Chain A
Amino acid sequence: MSRSPLNLPRLAWRYLWARPMLTALNLMLLSLGLAAIGFVVLVSEQLEQGLRRDLGGIDLVAGAKGSPMQILLAGVFHLDQSTGNIPLATVSQLKAQPLVAQAVPISLGDSFRGHRIVGTTADYLALYQLELAQGRRWTGPMQAVLGAEVARQSGLKPGDRFHGTHGLAGGGEEHEHPYEVTGVLAPTGGVVDRLVLTDLASVWEAHAAHGHAAKSARESKGRGHDDHASDRDHASDRDHASDRAEDHDHATDHEHEHEHEHEHEHDREHTGAHADAALEVSMVLVRYRSPLAAVMLPRWVNAQAGLQASVPALETARLLSMVGVGVDVLRGFGGVLLLAAALSVLVALLHAVRERQGDLAMLRMLGATPARVAGLIALEALMLASLATLLALGLAHGFAAVLGAVLAQQQSVRISGAWVSAWEALVPALALGLALIAAAWPAWRGYRLDVTELLQTPR
């Protein structure tokens, strides 16, 4: 026991822990309820923020016919397989639309130690406003820029080489042709940190060297195929397509080394116009020029054979409403826990007031005002609430960190235990509010305590 002089808060503290088991139980109930609410706040806010960041102003994703949700998950959040491939020509067709401000192709299918290798153009960097922390961007095929997290985990730096693996999960066949790291991106906190960016042509080249070929858009009708899994069905096209791809690469390669970067796009369009019959990409990320596009463009994309439009705004709303059920369940669970906790605190305090009636009456006899006695009871509840708040915030961040670690292992959505939300103020507010409500009646009983009971002859 401490030697510091007793005062009202210390007295409340001693009384609180005079029944340690009951106090611990109430603390646990209250903390878990609050932690559930805090956890929901932390995770849903990070989820929304993460989705928004990863969307990076993308208004539409065009992919092969299939589920728009899958297209979004694969193309933007890099959580799913792509629905198939579409002709490279789609890019130039989309760019030709006056309503389109930007159309950036991406090609998926390979990975490096579980990190996806994304074949794209320099536009991708502009789309996400990505900056290089080290080195330079790729200037030709089989050169790659690593996301910050990939570089951290692999320890690779500009000049190093690595082999891509076939397929999006680890453990696939390794491609023979190595990539050269030319640069490392600055961390964004988004999905890009976990990607390896390279030139579109690299993906073609990797698969050409490996004996794969792109397939035509007309033939890709399957949903959820691993892009290259379906490629294998078209082995007969292989040589022809890879020849084309290599021709194309040589051409762009050559020019890249001498030309300005932005000319690269024209270049790509130009070459694309020639080679588009066989060359394919997985998806095209589109940014609108005008709000009118939201009405016109998805319809136009869906009207094209083999093409499917995915509108991130709609799909993320759908995604969040799906996640929302879980969030609501968790929130409801937290609410029920809190209600139970409030009742338990109420009962405990009422019990304490009755049990300590003599103590409290004695306190009055010793000169305490009724308000002081009521305050003592309220203080006990407030201390419990404060402890519960600290515990709950710790637990909520802990749970978020654990969830974040699990999701990180799955290369999924990024959730951090260190994220702080203004809405966490809800936790102490709820705790104090509940404590005061639970303490109100017991405190009133304390206030109205009949001190003359002390003077009655015990029965």
Chain B
Amino acid sequence: MASTDAAALIASHGLRFRYGASAAADLHFPDFELPRGAHLLLRGASGSGKSTLLALMAGLLTPTAGRLAMDGVEVGALAPAARDAWRGAHLGFMPQRLHLSASLSVRDNLALPYVAAGLKPDDARITALLAELGIAPLLDRRPHALSQGQAQRVALARALLRAPRFVLADEPTANLDDEACDATLALLRRVATEHGASLVIASHDARIEAVWSEWPALQRLRLTRMGSAAMPLPTSCATP
């Protein structure tokens, strides 16, 4: 692993990913480096590759070309099982639809990060985190008995349980009114900072940029659809 990669929290160089054999689905990503302690906001229209970049970061997809190092680790180069293990240990994930299991109580939903990795659930940590997020009394409820805000906090707790280096959030403010959007962003920022995790937020919601315009640690990366490999690499990498 190159030392320059290790110095940056996320380093991407010549990263490409192609879905199938179609040239039209060949995505080129801009080179960028995210310093430690910084957070990343991925902007871009639908189809610009935000989700693909998140999947590459999570090791769910492997690059067709180039390299992407997460905290010094080229996740795509790991063996499949090691990729899964790395993802479980270092990456928290907030999907847009939260994906809490309707069949399980809050307690069991929060045990899933441990079960997924074959670990014994850390009840003390679960309880502490729920208390911190102000949802301790909800432990035995089912997800359908939670408000949107409560469910979001449970999902956030699930993302943070194993003390990840990164928290990936996919469209965290979609379908939220302005008030809820502000609250969500405030919560994400506070919790990520307190837990020493870097946020990677993929969104096309313009409100995020507006709300966080004053946050110096936030870096912005705008993705544009570049089409074929013959086109020059994008240079729209955000500056701090």
State the A residues within 8 Å of B (CB): 1, 5-8, 11, 14-15, 18, 356, 358-359, 361-370, 372, 451-452, 454-458
Contact A365 B87 (CB under 8 A): yes
Contact B97 A358 (CB under 8 A): yes
Closest approach, in angstroms, between the C-beta of B175 and any C-beta of chain A? 9
Contact A14 B171 (CB under 8 A): no
Q: CB-CB < 8 A to B227: which residues of A?
A: none
- Out of B60, B84, B107, B121, which one reaches A368, CB within 8 Å? B84
Closest approach, in angstroms, between the C-beta of A17 and any C-beta of chain B? 9
- Out of A15, A370, A455, which one reaches B55, CB within 8 Å? A455
Contact A6 B108 (CB under 8 A): yes
CA distance A75 to B47 in the complex (A): 89
Q: A6-B112, A368-B84, A451-B60 are in contact. Are A362 and B99 (CB under 8 A)?
A: yes
Contact A11 B55 (CB under 8 A): no
Q: A18-B103, A458-B97 are in contact. Are A363 and B112 (CB under 8 A)?
A: yes
State the B residues within 8 Å of A (CB): 46, 51-52, 54-55, 58, 60-61, 80-81, 84-85, 87-89, 93, 95-97, 99, 101-105, 107-108, 111-118, 120-121, 123, 140, 158, 170-171, 174, 202
Contact A359 B81 (CB under 8 A): no
- Out of A359, A364, A365, A369, which one reaches B101, CB within 8 Å? A359
- Out of A14, A361, A366, A452, which one reaches B51, CB within 8 Å? A452
CA distance A397 to B120 in the complex (A): 40
Q: CB-CB < 8 A to B81: which residues of A?
A: 369
CA distance A422 to B214 in the complex (A): 77
Contact A358 B99 (CB under 8 A): yes
User: 5 closest pairs, A vs B, by CB?
Assistant: A367-B88, A18-B103, A6-B111, A368-B116, A366-B116
Given contacts A364-B84, A367-B87, A367-B116, 20 further A-B contacts (CB under 8 A): A6-B107, A6-B111, A6-B112, A7-B120, A8-B115, A8-B118, A18-B102, A356-B101, A356-B103, A363-B112, A366-B88, A368-B88, A368-B117, A369-B80, A452-B60, A452-B61, A455-B55, A455-B95, A457-B96, A458-B97
Which of B52, B104, B123 counts the most A-chain CB atoms under 10 A from its CB?
Answer: B104
Q: A359-B101, A458-B97 are in contact. Are A6 and B87 (CB under 8 A)?
A: no
Q: A6-B112, A367-B84, A368-B116 are in contact. Are A457 and B58 (CB under 8 A)?
A: no
Query: Can you report 10 A-B residue pairs in the complex whose CB atoms are below 8 A from each other?
Result: A5-B123, A6-B114, A6-B121, A14-B103, A366-B87, A366-B88, A366-B158, A367-B85, A367-B87, A368-B84
Q: CB-CB < 8 A to A456: which residues of B?
A: 51
CA distance A451 to B52 in the complex (A): 11
Q: CB-CB < 8 A to A358: which residues of B?
A: 97, 99
Q: CB-CB < 8 A to B97: which residues of A?
A: 358, 458
Q: CB-CB < 8 A to A11: which residues of B?
A: 104, 108, 112, 115
Q: CB-CB < 8 A to A369: which residues of B?
A: 80-81, 84
Contact A454 B123 (CB under 8 A): no
Q: A5-B121, A455-B95 are in contact. Are A372 and B116 (CB under 8 A)?
A: yes
Contact B51 A367 (CB under 8 A): no
Contact A457 B171 (CB under 8 A): yes
Q: A5-B121, A367-B87, A367-B89 are in contact. Are A361 and B116 (CB under 8 A)?
A: no
Contact A14 B116 (CB under 8 A): no
CA distance A15 to B115 in the complex (A): 14
Q: CB-CB < 8 A to A6: which residues of B?
A: 107-108, 111-112, 114-115, 121
- Name A1's closest neighbour in chain B (CB-CB): B105
Q: A452-B60, A454-B95, A458-B96 are in contact. Are A7 and B105 (CB under 8 A)?
A: no
Closest approach, in angstroms, between the C-beta of A424 and any C-beta of chain B? 34
CA distance A454 to B155 in the complex (A): 14
